Amino acid sequence: MHQRSPLAAIVAAGSDIGCPADLAGRRLARSAATGWLPDELVACLAERGIAPPEIVPVDYGEPPRALGRGTVDIMATFLDTTTQQQPTSGIATRSIHVGHEIYASGLVAADRVPGDVVSRMVLAVRAAFEHQQREPELGIEEFCRRFPATSPVRARETWDLLAPFVFTGSSVGSMDDGRWTETLAWLAGVHGLGVPSPSAVWRQP
């Protein structure tokens, strides 16, 4: 659903880090479970000619807590997950967007699922996003019921950060071969993988 990557560096609100260039040489949390996000953050900085942060290995689930303790300066995540991360870190945080111009999320369906079922799911997810865009308060109320530690104000702030990556002028959830080719080539390069053809990864339902 993300037409552009919302990958961000999450820093303490009181940090002197204010832009991507300030991330150079800072301590970046990396756990084995979610190591692809720090790796992609480092790659995004390299494309801007920015020196890499210092990688600090941490245990699974520990990046937010390490940020709160001050043992790291940065954690990597998507902008729309910051609402869940802040209570775990125990401190106020800010987001610095660094994401590349690639697809970052989507609906995954097994080949055995009938095309008409996939089509209906795509339309339903698209309708949900568009409804949320028209009436954001309805979604925020439900979000806060599911995540009671999140305030409505913080949830709305996170939605406002996410929306530009979903509503880009293209149809919500639409994809094309050109962007998929760029996405696959970039991710394969960052992670040292072979590049699959777009047709092996996606098709229109």
Beta bridge partners of 9: 76, 96
pTM of the model: 0.83
3-state class (DSSP) for residue 166: helix
Of 129, 122, 132, the closest CA to residue 174 belongs to 122
Beta bridge partners of 74: 28
3-state class (DSSP) for residue 73: coil
Average pLDDT over every residue of 191-196: 91
Residues in the chain: 205
> Are the C-beta atoms of 2 and 79 separated by less than 8 Å?
no
Domains and CATH numbers, the chain: 7-97 (3.40.190.10), 115-201 (no CATH)
pLDDT tens-digit series, residues 74-121: 999 998 777 666 667 788 888 899 998 898 888 888 889 998 998 899
What is the structure's pLDDT at 173?
76
